[in-house]
Homo-oligomer: A and B are copies of this chain.
Amino acid sequence: MTTVPRTGFLLVLSSPSGGGKSTIGRQCLARMSDIAYSVSYTTRKPRPGERPGVDYHFVSREEFQRLLAADVFLEWEEVHGNYYGTSRQTVAESLAAGRDVLLDIDVKGGLEIRRRFADRSVLVFVLPPSGEVLARRLRQRATDSEEVIAARLANAAQELVFGRQYDYLVINDVLEQAVDCLCHIIAAERCRLARQQEFFRNFSENIKKYNKNKEL
């Protein structure tokens, strides 16, 4: 198998709260070990099971403001009263090393990545099979109050407006199938002609030489 140089891309995974994007992202990373994960900074409190430095860099609001002032973030957003930011350095280093990078960020952050990276970004929106299922999933997440749940659902309507501009929609009904879909998307995006320009150019030069010399 020939190893072909390929341009890496940023894979943005977004969903309304309770959509399941983080679970899908984690399982996809477990299957495709060559993808880098951009660990976001957040001022939100850790949920049970979340590991600092692995799921998020958990920081205080003061620390977040300091990082913001130091231009550490490629993009940052306030979501449900908490700050979230993507490290500029992590993304740049991974792309430079030829790796694709998974970003688990909100829709506004996703569209900011699209604005900055254009064709080098791939935007995937995750939704449960229906609005009813979304509400039920949020209720089952015992960490949030009824008010927070209501606010998250109200926010979902707005997120759908932004999400409409995404490239792909993965419906998270059966988790395993949703993970399959995300893995297919990554594999397919690696086959984009625009990411294999160097191979294409070399091949074309090769054929032109043949036509000139009538031999290879």
Chain B residues, CB < 8 A from A168: 188, 191-193
Q: Which residue of B lies closest to A165 (CB)?
A: B193
Cβ of A167: which chain B residues have Cβ within 8 Å of it?
A: 192-193
Is A199 interfacial (CB 8 A cutoff)? yes
The answer to whether A157 touches B204, judged by C-beta atoms less than 8 angstroms apart, is yes
Residues of B within 8 A of A174 (CB): 1
Asked if A210 is an interface residue, CB under 8 A from chain B, the answer is yes
A192 proximity list for chain B (CB < 8 A): 167-169
Contacting residues, chain B, for A214 (C-beta < 8 A): 150
- Tell me if A173 and B1 are in contact (CB < 8 A): yes
Q: Is A181 an interface residue (CB 8 A)?
A: yes
Which of A39-47, A88-96, A128-136 lies at the interface with chain B?
Answer: A128-136
Q: Report yes or no: A207 in contact with B131, Cβ–Cβ below 8 A.
A: yes
User: Inside 8 A of A185's CB, which chain B residues have their CB?
Assistant: 188, 191
A117: interface (CB < 8 Å): no
Complex CA gap A200/B169 in Å reads 9
Q: Does A54 contact B (CB under 8 A)?
A: no
> Cα distance A173–B4 when bound, in Å?
11
In the assembled complex, A143 has its CB within 8 A of some CB on chain B: no
List, in ascending order, chain B residues with CB within 8 A of A132's CB: 206, 216
Tell which of B135, B166, B170, B211 touches A210, judged by Cβ atoms closer than 8 Å.
B135
**Contact yes or no, B125 A171, CB < 8 A:** no
Closest to A205 in B: B131
CB-defined interface of A193-216 with B at 8 Å, one 1/0 digit per residue? 100100110111011111100101
10 nearest A-B residue pairs (beta carbon): A131-B206, A188-B188, A184-B187, A169-B193, A131-B207, A185-B188, A132-B216, A2-B129, A184-B188, A168-B191
